[in-house]
């Protein structure tokens, strides 16, 4: 039922989250206060249960094949670290001119490729999960090296704080731990129950759990900002404009290159999703450290 009506369920959960944030703001504030190493515990738990089902079905042989395909990996690196930063800076300055903190917040978001939820969307779109895992892991590691200098360069400030704890926790919780547990549980369950049972029963079960985790994630995320969104819809639309424009641009570029390269659908959808995604929690952590929790930069996420 969830899978067949997913769009409807997503819309309903967004509405529930917004209403909770608007009429029970203390609920969102309480959830937002539950953090470890700057990582939201409720969202972290939900994202883990979204990530595990995407990797438990990956065979090691598929990962080895993915490593032998460097071109999609190179495209996502170029998209995330060469094309997106200057384009996001350009769009932010054109659309949000005269609002330096809003500009800073949008730029920080453009500097951080997604390392968790993107794998779930790849699974939903029936992409190549093994290739997606490799590309996502490499971009996560590059974030440790490139995030601070890229942000400092495009913001025109020095001393950009790197949320090492948050990035490290993200890599561990959303990549290392699910991959490790996925590999162990896959081997154990196939050995005990057989490949047919694993594919037809277990994978179907955990994928249903992942959909439930996505819906809960949306409720939690929108409850954080529900009051602000409903009280300031025009401001939210104003801040969303450069983000929507960069997503549309990067989808067109990455999918266009994939199409011109004659890559198969699975590879193309991987590069498109990874090359156009953002890691909002890293951006929020840096924005609040630099400009404050109630700043325009933090709101621009």
Q: Is the pLDDT of residue 2 over 60?
A: no
- 271-301 as b/e: b if 16+ CB within 10 A: bbbbbbbbbbbbbbbbbbbbbeeebbbbbbb
Contact 163/289 with Cβ under 8 angstroms?
A: yes
Please count the helices (runs of H) and the strands (runs of E) in the chain.
17, 2
Gap between the Cα atoms of 216 and 41, Å rounded:
13
**Three-state DSSP class for residue 114:** coil
Gap between the Cα atoms of 85 and 87, Å rounded:
6
- Tens of pLDDT, residue by residue over 206-240, are 988 988 988 998 898 888 777 778 888 888 889 88
Instruction: Copy the structure tokens of residue 159.
Output: 């001393």
Comparing 159 with 80, the larger pLDDT belongs to: 80
- Residue 39's DSSP bridge partners are 36
The reported pLDDT for the residue numbered 181 is: 92
The reported pLDDT for the residue numbered 245 is: 96
Following DSSP, what letter does each residue of 139-176 receive, concatenated? HHHHHHHHHHHHHHHHHT-S-PPP-HHHHHHHHIIIII
Q: Is the pLDDT of residue 172 over 70?
A: yes
For tokens 């190179």, the residue is 74
Smallest Cα–Cα separation from 276: which of 124, 76, 126, 60?
76
Pairing of strands 35-36, 39-40: antiparallel
Contact 24/230 with Cβ under 8 angstroms?
A: no
List the chain domain ranges: 13-299
Q: Is the pLDDT of residue 263 over 90?
A: yes
The reported pLDDT for the residue numbered 158 is: 45
The reported pLDDT for the residue numbered 201 is: 93
- Tens of pLDDT, residue by residue over 130-152, are 898 888 888 888 887 888 788 88
Gap between the Cα atoms of 183 and 191, Å rounded:
12
Q: Is the pLDDT of residue 297 over 60?
A: no
Contact 118/279 with Cβ under 8 angstroms?
A: no
Q: Which of 129-138, 145-154, 252-261, 275-284 holds the top average pLDDT?
A: 252-261
- Tens of pLDDT, residue by residue over 180-206, are 899 899 999 999 999 999 999 999 999
Q: Is the pLDDT of residue 161 over 70?
A: no
Q: Which fold has domain 13-299?
A: Na+/H+ antiporter like fold (1.20.1530)
pTM across the whole model:
0.81
Following DSSP, what letter does each residue of 46-76 receive, concatenated? HHHHHHHHHHHT--HHHHHHHHT-HHHHHHH
């Amino acid at each position: 039922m969830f899978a067949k009506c997913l769009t409807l369920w997503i819309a309903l959960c967004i509405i529930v989250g917004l209403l909770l944030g608007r009429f029970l703001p203390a609920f969102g504030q309480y959830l937002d206060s539950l953090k470890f190493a700057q990582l939201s515990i409720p969202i972290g738990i939900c994202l883990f249960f979204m990530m595990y089902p995407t990797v438990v079905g990956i065979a090691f042989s598929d990962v080895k094949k993915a490593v032998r395909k460097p071109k999609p990996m190179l495209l996502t690196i170029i998209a995330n670290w060469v094309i997106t930063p200057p384009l996001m800076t350009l769009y932010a300055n054109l659309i949000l001119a005269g609002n330096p903190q809003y500009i800073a917040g949008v730029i920080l978001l453009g500097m951080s490729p997604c390392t968790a939820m993107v794998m779930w969307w790849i699974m939903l779109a029936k992409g190549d999960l093994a290739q997606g895992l490799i590309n996502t892991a490499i971009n996560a590691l590059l974030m440790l090296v490139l995030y601070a200098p890229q942000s400092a360069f495009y913001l025109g400030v020095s001393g950009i704080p790197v949320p090492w704890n948050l990035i490290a926790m993200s890599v561990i919780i959303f990549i290392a731990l699910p991959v490790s547990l996925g590999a162990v549980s896959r081997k154990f369950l196939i050995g005990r129950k057989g490949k047919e049972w694993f594919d037809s029963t277990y994978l179907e079960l955990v994928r249903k759990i992942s959909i439930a985790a996505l819906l809960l994630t949306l409720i939690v995320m929108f409850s954080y900002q529900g009051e602000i969104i409903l009280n300031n819809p025009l401001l939210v639309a104003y801040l969303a404009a450069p983000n929507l424009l960069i997503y549309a641009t990067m989808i067109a570029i990455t999918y266009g290159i994939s199409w011109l390269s004659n890559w198969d659908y699975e590879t193309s959808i991987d590069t498109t999703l990874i090359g156009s995604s953002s890691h909002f929690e890293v951006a929020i952590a840096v924005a609040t450290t630099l400009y404050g929790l109630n700043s325009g930069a933090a709101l621009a996420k």
